[in-house]
Amino acid sequence: MSHVRSVLVVGASASGLATAEALRRKGFGGALTLVGAEAETPYDRPPLSKQVLSGAWEPQRAQLRSAEALARLDAEFVLGEQAVALDVDRLQVTTEAGRTLAADAVVIATGVGARLLPGRCGVRGVHAVRTLADSLALRAELVAARRVVVLGDGVLGAEAAATARQTGAEVTLAGPQPAPLTRQLGPTAARHLAALHRNNGVNLRGGVLPEDLHTRDGRVTGVRLSDGTELEADVVITAIGSLPATGWLDGSGLTVDDGVVCDAHCRAAPGVWAVGDVARWYHLGLGRPLRLENRTNASEQALAVAADILGQGRPYTPVPYFWTDQFDTKIQVHGVVPPEADATVVDGDAGSGRFVVRLDGPSGPECVLGWNMPKQARLRRTSLLDHYTHQPSTATATVTATT
C-alpha cells in the first residue's frame, strides 16, 4: 500500500484533473490540491481551434466538469496563481503570490506554452491559440477579418486555418512542411489533406518560414515569408510550435530536456511525477523517451500516474493516438509515423474520401491512419501492439538527460 496521504497537482489542466479524478476513483481519500495559472476551472483545449473559435460553442461548453462535479472531487483548487518554484527534497511548491504548498506526492501537469514570433509582443491582430482567452480574442477578430494568414502547418495551424476559412475569410496557411501535417500523417495522407484545404479555398504555402511582420500603427498588416512572398493580413494566427512549461522548475534539481524527463513509470524524482504535454517519459516498448501533445495521452497517462502514486503502477507503454477534424474530414492516427514510412492503403479507397493507411517501418507496422473510417482504423490498431508493447532486453526504467 502507498504511504501517500496528500497529493499536490501543479496544473489544473485536462491531465491534472484526470489525475485527481483517477486518484479518487482508485480509493484515495487524502488531501488533494490542484494549482492552476489560469483563473478558469479546467477546460478542454481541442475545441479552442474549432468549435469555440468558430462560435459554434460558447466558452462554458468547453469546461471539463460542472461546478457540482468539481465539488464532489473534494479537492482544493488554487486558481489564477502560477507555480514559480519546486523544492524536490521537501516536495514543496511556491506560487507567485508567495504561497507555500507541500504534499507527500507532487504531480507536474503544467502543459506547454505557445512558441511566439520575435517582435510579436504588443502587435494587435497577431494571435496564438493556446488558452480559452486566446481563442475568444481571436474569435472576436475573425468576425470582421477579410485576410487571415496562419503561420505553422501542424495540427493546430491546420485546424485554425480550416475554422477561419469557414468564417468566410481569405486564408493562407504557411509552414515549413511540403504539405500540412506531413510529419504527423506521413506524405500520403498529408497530400490528401493539402488537397482538402485547397478544395475549400485555403491558399497553401509550403516549405517556408515566417521572416517578418508588417505593421501600421501597432497593428499587423502583412507577413513576409522566407521565400520573399509578401502576404497582406488583417489577422495573423501563429501556430509555430510549443514549449513545455518548465521554466518554473529551474533550480529544482529535476532533469529538463524537451519536457520533464521521467522514467518508465512517469516519475521525475522520488515523490514527483509528470503527466500530459509536459512529460517526457521513457517508453519501454519503443526503447526511447517520448513526449506527446494530445488529449488522449493526457487522460491515459493520468491513469498511469495515479496508479503509480498509489503503489499499483506499471510501465506506461501506450499506442499513441490523436485525432483531428478539418472541414468535413475526421482523421484518426494510431501510433507514430516512422521516418521513411512505407504507406499502404489497407481499407477503403483514397479517391473516395474514406480509407485507412498502414505505415510500416523497418520492423513492421508502426502507425495506422483512418480518413473518415474511425472503426476500421481502430480495428487495424491491433497490428501495432507488438511494436509498442515489446520491451527490449537492453531497456532501462530510468533516463539520463542533460538539463
Rounded to two decimals, the pTM is 0.93
Residue 73 has pLDDT above 70, yes or no: yes
* 137 — pLDDT class (breaks 50, 70, 90): very high
User: What average pLDDT does the segment 327-356 reach?
Assistant: 94
* 299 — pLDDT class (breaks 50, 70, 90): very high
Residues 115, 141: Cα–Cα separation, whole Å:
21
Strand intervals (E) in 292-392 = 321-326, 329-335, 342-349, 354-361, 364-371
- Amino acid at position 294, single letter: N
Cβ pair 95, 35 in contact under 8 A: yes
User: Angle formed by the axes of helices 155-166 and 187-199, to 10°?
Assistant: 20
Angle at CA of residue 149, ends 216 and 135, nearest 5°:
95
Residue 391 has pLDDT above 60, yes or no: no
98: phi > 0 → left, psi -120 to 50 → alpha, else beta; which?
left
Considering only CA atoms, which of 349, 339, 302, 297 is closest in space to residue 318?
297
* 122 — pLDDT class (breaks 50, 70, 90): confident
Residues 260, 110: Cα–Cα separation, whole Å:
10
pLDDT at position 116 is 86
Question: In the beta sheet, which residues pair with residue 325?
Answer: 330
Residue 298 in grid coordinates:
493526457
pLDDT at position 392 is 43
pLDDT for 198-231, tens place per residue?
A: 999 999 999 999 999 999 999 999 999 999 999 9
Mean pLDDT of the chain: 94
- 256 secondary structure, DSSP code: B
pLDDT for 307-327, tens place per residue?
A: 999 999 999 999 999 999 999
- 124 secondary structure, DSSP code: B
Residues constituting the chain: 403
Cβ pair 50, 161 in contact under 8 A: no
* 395 — pLDDT class (breaks 50, 70, 90): very low
Residue 178 has pLDDT above 80, yes or no: yes
Question: In the beta sheet, which residues pair with residue 93?
Answer: 86, 101
Residue 333 has pLDDT above 90, yes or no: yes
Q: Are strands 92-95 and 83-87 parallel, antiparallel or unpaired?
A: antiparallel
Helical spans, DSSP H, in 167-286:
182-185, 187-199
- 278 secondary structure, DSSP code: G
Describe the strand order of the beta sheet including 92-95 as a list of residue ranges.
83-87, 92-95, 100-102
Residue 45 has pLDDT above 90, yes or no: yes
* 398 — pLDDT class (breaks 50, 70, 90): very low
DSSP letter string, 189-207: HHHHHHHHHHHTTPEEEES
Cβ pair 228, 359 in contact under 8 A: no
* 340 — pLDDT class (breaks 50, 70, 90): confident
* 269 — pLDDT class (breaks 50, 70, 90): very high
pLDDT at position 107 is 98
pLDDT at position 389 is 86
Task: Specify the range with the lowest mean pLDDT, choosing from 40-49, 200-209, 358-367, 388-397.
Answer: 388-397
* 361 — pLDDT class (breaks 50, 70, 90): very high
Residue 294 has pLDDT above 60, yes or no: yes
Q: Is the dihedral of CA 338, 341, 344, 349 positive or negative?
A: positive
* 403 — pLDDT class (breaks 50, 70, 90): very low
pLDDT at position 390 is 64
Residue 401 has pLDDT above 50, yes or no: no
pLDDT for 1-38, tens place per residue?
A: 478 999 999 999 999 999 999 999 999 999 999 999 99
Q: Are strands 321-326 and 364-371 parallel, antiparallel or unpaired?
A: unpaired
pLDDT at position 121 is 73
Q: How many CA atoms lie within 13 A of 66 on its CB side?
A: 3
Residues 194, 203: Cα–Cα separation, whole Å:
10
Considering only CA atoms, which of 283, 57, 253, 30 is closest in space to residue 163?
57
Residue 75 has pLDDT above 70, yes or no: yes
